[in-house]
Amino acid sequence: MKLSNKTQALQDLIAPAVQACNVELWGIDFVPQGKRSLLRIYIDKPVDENAAPIINEEGEEELGRGIGVQDCVRVTQQVGAMLDVHDPISGEYALEVSSPGWDRPFYKLEQMTGYIGQQVALRLISAVDNRRKFQAKLVAVDLENEMIQVEVEKQQVLEIDSHNIDKANLIYQDSFNK
């Protein structure tokens, strides 16, 4: 799960602006598309089950959990102003800010530790067991050795080096249909 040099530079530049909005920078996607590029920023914040509801600036009730529209607006304004000053992207670009969503992409191995036992989709750089794409159950995350273990069909467990993961995301499962 290695970022390109340009994506890493953008992430390093915008991280302080995101933190200033009291949210976590989950990850970014930078997609250069000729004259008009796309910079997508994913933000998150911890869920507080015991938080009392609050009324935000728009008069909407927030339950103290997850990312809200106002969080996205604040980050868009903060990061947009910072990008205007530093101008790290040549040409036009679209800036999108959102929560990682139900099918959240993973950008760091540490992010996967909270999702052990759940289904993930993986796209690998080099084939493992003659496959580059997997949908599997995440069995273990080994931060020290930078490996994950996934269970594929027939309860076969595969070890995958994190540097071989091109793309990874959670597969949303409706808890009512289990």
pTM for the structure as a whole: 0.84
Q: Read off the pLDDT of each residue in 145-152 and give the average, rounded to a whole number.
A: 96
DSSP for the chain, written as a single string: -PPPHHHHHHHHHHHHHHHTTT-EEEEEEEE--TTEEEEEEEEE----TTPPPEE-TTS-EE-S-S--HHHHHHHHHHHHHHHHHH--S-SEEEEEEE---TT-B--SHHHHGGGTTSEEEEEEEEEETTEEEEEEEEEEEETTTTEEEEEEGGGEEEEEEGGGEEEEEE----GGG-
92 found inside a domain: yes
**Same domain assignment for residues 155 and 120:** yes
Domain total in the chain: 2
**Same domain assignment for residues 163 and 120:** yes
pLDDT band at 72 (very low <50, low <70, confident <90, very high): very high
User: Which pLDDT belongs to residue 106?
Assistant: 97
User: How far is it, in rounded angstroms, from Cα 20 to Cα 106?
Assistant: 22
Burial class (CB in 10 A: 0-12, 13-18, 19+), 40: middle
User: How far is it, in rounded angstroms, from Cα 171 to Cα 178?
Assistant: 14
Domain final position from 98, 130, 161: 98
The parent domain of residue 151 ranges over 109-177
Instruction: Look over the chain and give the mean of its residue pLDDT values, rounded to a whole number.
Output: 89
pLDDT in tens, 35-50: 889 999 999 998 766 6
User: Which pLDDT belongs to residue 173?
Assistant: 82
* Cα 11 from chain centre: 12
Domain final position from 77, 98, 119: 98
**Same domain assignment for residues 93 and 172:** no
User: Which pLDDT belongs to residue 175?
Assistant: 62
Tokens at 84, concatenated? 């205007």
pLDDT band at 1 (very low <50, low <70, confident <90, very high): confident
Q: Read off the pLDDT of each residue in 80-109 and give the average, rounded to a whole number.
A: 93
